[in-house]
Amino acid sequence: MWFEELISPEEVAFESGVFLTKKEKAKSLKGLGINEVIQPEPEPMPGTEAVRPDKTKPKSPTISETCILRLTGNIPPELWNRLGTKILPKLRSGTELQVGINFQVSLKADQAGSLKSDLSQILEDLGLSGKVHIEES
């Protein structure tokens, strides 16, 4: 929840399931330390078991049941920040999260040296110079 905070234009979106709230409500939620409002699943009454809408009991996961989710595809540059704020927090609920990058750009050959130098400096500043490699073809 954002309230009385500056946000970048990339963070502004109109999505289903996202709602605006009145100033007074936002203040009270922020005062309680609540950053998002979630409707909790109803708790089963004592002495009863949870039953799903299809009337079956929920399956208890076992430790040996694991799977790997992999997201692949091209992402428009204007959505990159939102990817980091929407998807990464969800993926952190698992273990052994690995995130990689694959940027590619076409440009004039006489501009490549300067851009490569700039990118190398940025990677060094971020502490990624040994982890992210720049290739030129």
Ordered by start, the domain boundaries in the chain are 1-39+73-98, 100-137
Cα 92-97-98 angle, rounded to 5 deg: 140
Of 60-64, 66-70, 114-118, 120-124, which range is least confident? 60-64
Cβ contacts of 38 within 8 Å, gap of 6 or more: none
pTM: 0.47
Burial tier of 30 (Cβ tally within 10 Å: 0-12, 13-18, 19+): middle
Residue 27 pLDDT = 78
Confidence of residue 124 (pLDDT cuts 50, 70, 90): very high
Cβ contacts of 81 within 8 Å, gap of 6 or more: 8, 10, 11
Say yes or no to pLDDT of 39 above 50.
Answer: no
CA 94 – CA 34 distance, rounded (Å): 23
Residue 38 pLDDT = 47
Could you read off the pLDDT of 52-106 as tens digits, one per residue? 555 555 566 566 678 888 888 888 888 888 888 888 888 888 888 998 888 999 9
Say yes or no to pLDDT of 7 above 90.
Answer: no
Instruction: Return the percent helix, strand and coil in the chain, to nearest 5.
Output: 30, 0, 70
Cβ contacts of 57 within 8 Å, gap of 6 or more: 49, 50, 51
Q: Which residue has the tokens 């990058």?
A: 101
